[in-house]
Amino acid sequence: MIAEWPILSLTVWIPIIGGFMVLASGDRESNATKWTALIIAVLTFIVSLPLWFAFDSSTSAMQFVERVPWIPSFDVEYYMGVDGISMPLIILTTFITPLVVIAGWEVIKYRPSQYMAAFLIMEGVMVGVFSALDAMLFYVYWEAMLIPMFLIIGVWGGPNRVYATIKFFLYTFFGSVFMLVALIYMYFQAGSFDILGYHTLKLDLTEQILIFIAFLLAFAVKVPMWPVHTWLPDAHVEAPTGGSVILAAIMLKIGGYGFLRFSLPITPDASHTLDWLIIGMSLIAVVYIGFVALIQQDMKKLIAYSSIAHMGFVTLGFFIVFIISQNNAGSGAALGVEGGMVQMVSHGFISAALFLCVGVLYDRLHSREIKDYGGVINTMPVFGAFMVFFAMANAGLPGTSGFVGEFMVILASFRADFWYAFLAATTLIIGAAYTLWMVKRVVFGDVTNEGVAALQDMNQREYIVLGTLAAAVLLLGLWPAPLVEVMDASVNNLLQHIAVSKL
């Protein structure tokens, strides 16, 4: 029964309309505004829960489908639905947003209503990206996402925010417009903008390669993959804490999701032909960017680079499937894709938590430089424990969610090629090195300066946010089975689909 309600539309439009209400309410009663924002965010989360509970994981078909004409003369439809790949990402989005609203509670002094509204509107739009099944609808959501993020970084960001936000906007805009041309091109081949229709569209290899490259530009910038990653450290460093959290936890996932929804099924032969390129770029991200992270002086920059390295795992997991199926290694292919998906969700929790940890410190001392801290554990023991826990998760400690995804991808890459696995596994060392070294310098040791000596431990608000995330990280680490089961049918369907050449 619940499946007949327009749950996806509600999840998209409650936060968007709520966001405009918050915007309209202004800043005179800023407490009321904040509470409204929080209620809307929590309500959206509750509304989105049936997507998980009423989800039928035995089928790969789209569920909760809504389909009405939007621009009839162009065959553009308001067509949304979810499968096992998109549903966990939607839940991730609605889960993280309330935490972001809470995290910005007292910190944001300048026009809090606009701040909260931007996050709520962005939440709705991001859910839209994950649930759109019409290519134009997808593109509209995809681009609309840029506007609130552009403002969030630019208005509430750090000193160099203007440079960072314009770079962010232009990089992503650059990536996506070529995707637009590809989508229009396929419209004339397929006769509609239906994404599932694109999946079965026959395309020759040249067309596929050009379309693949157009998609690659869009998604590689978003993920971001080496060498188009340079906007991310700038954007992260300058963004306010909430902006960094959304950026790392959800926006990056949209690139990964794009590979699964568009690149692989629409252009399987081009993906196969060019898989060496993606694998190469992913391994460079894992190894080289890992070393880059090691030398960072700025905590946020370090986590940003660590995000790029972790997202390298995701794309690696997605694109080794061709080699695995050539080697006839059975279920290994599914392991790679599912590992990538688990990694995305887990990285959503962990990176969000780490950025929030940095936010906690930044709110107190207004510095993100590692050298300005030292011995934080002496004055903030509870916070120190959380930070160490999340750092361990980031380094892939078994028992945390960080371990599951990485382990699955490394296992899958063994079935593809020993050296891929070898290079990927170096992250266990490099990742541990940069994360734990940072923790050592920031959290442990003697109190280095007066600022640290005067630190207050976390307040209740921060405790709730980090505690929730810690629970999520542990739960996913100890019991990843539900997540894997939910996506299993969809992933296997995808793999069967891409195993058949379109030529």
187 scored as a contact of another protein (CB under 8 A): yes
Which two structure tokens, joined as six digits, stand for 225? 């993959």
- Of 71 and 454, which has the nearer Cβ to another protein? 71
Q: 225-257 b/e with 16+ CB inside 10 Å = b?
A: bbebbebbbbbbbbbbbbbbbbbbbbbbbbbbb
- Of 130 and 407, which has the nearer Cβ to another protein? 130
Smallest separation, CB 75 to another protein (Å): 11
Q: Among residue numbers 125 through 164, which ones bind another protein (CB under 8 A)? A: 136, 139-141, 143-144, 146-147, 150-151, 154-155, 161-162
5 scored as a contact of another protein (CB under 8 A): no
Smallest separation, CB 84 to another protein (Å): 28
H/E/C letters for each residue in 284-332? HHHHHHHHHHHCCCEHHHHHHHHHHHHHHHHHHHHHCHHHHHHCCCCCH
Binding-site member from 33, 44, 97, 114 for another protein (CB under 8 A): 114
- Of 53 and 188, which has the nearer Cβ to another protein? 188
Of the candidates 53, 59, 54, the one whose C-alpha atom is nearest the C-alpha of residue 490 is: 59
185 scored as a contact of another protein (CB under 8 A): yes
- Of 140 and 329, which has the nearer Cβ to another protein? 140
Binding-site member from 5, 13, 173, 437 for another protein (CB under 8 A): 173
103 vs 90, 138, 332, 347, CA distance in Å?
20, 29, 40, 19
> Contact at 8 Å (CB) between 313 and 61?
no
444 vs 55, 387, 439, CA distance in Å?
45, 11, 7
382 scored as a contact of another protein (CB under 8 A): no
Distance between CA atoms of 386 and 89, rounded to whole angstroms?
24
- Of 140 and 397, which has the nearer Cβ to another protein? 140
Distance between CA atoms of 259 and 268, rounded to whole angstroms?
11
Distance between CA atoms of 214 and 279, rounded to whole angstroms?
18
Plot region of 226 (φ>0 → left; ψ -120 to 50 → alpha; else → beta): beta
Smallest separation, CB 166 to another protein (Å): 6
Q: What is the CA radius of gyration of the chain?
A: 22
Smallest separation, CB 150 to another protein (Å): 7
Site size with another protein, rule: CB under 8 A: 36
Cα three-residue angle 16-18-20, rounded to 5 degrees: 75
21 scored as a contact of another protein (CB under 8 A): no
Q: Candidates 93-101, 182-190, 304-312, 449-457 — which segment interacts with another protein by CB under 8 A?
A: 182-190
Print the binding letters for residues 69-108 with another protein: x by CB under 8 A, - otherwise: xxxxxx----------------------------------
178 scored as a contact of another protein (CB under 8 A): yes
Smallest separation, CB 104 to another protein (Å): 17
Pairing of strands 76-82, 63-71: antiparallel
Alpha helices of 398-449 — where are they, by DSSP H? 401-416, 418-442
Q: Candidates 65-73, 95-103, 253-261, 323-331 — which segment interacts with another protein by CB under 8 A?
A: 65-73
> Can you give the binding site for another protein, defined by CB under 8 A?
69-74, 111, 114, 136, 139-141, 143-144, 146-147, 150-151, 154-155, 161-162, 165-166, 169-170, 173-174, 177-178, 180-181, 184-185, 187-188
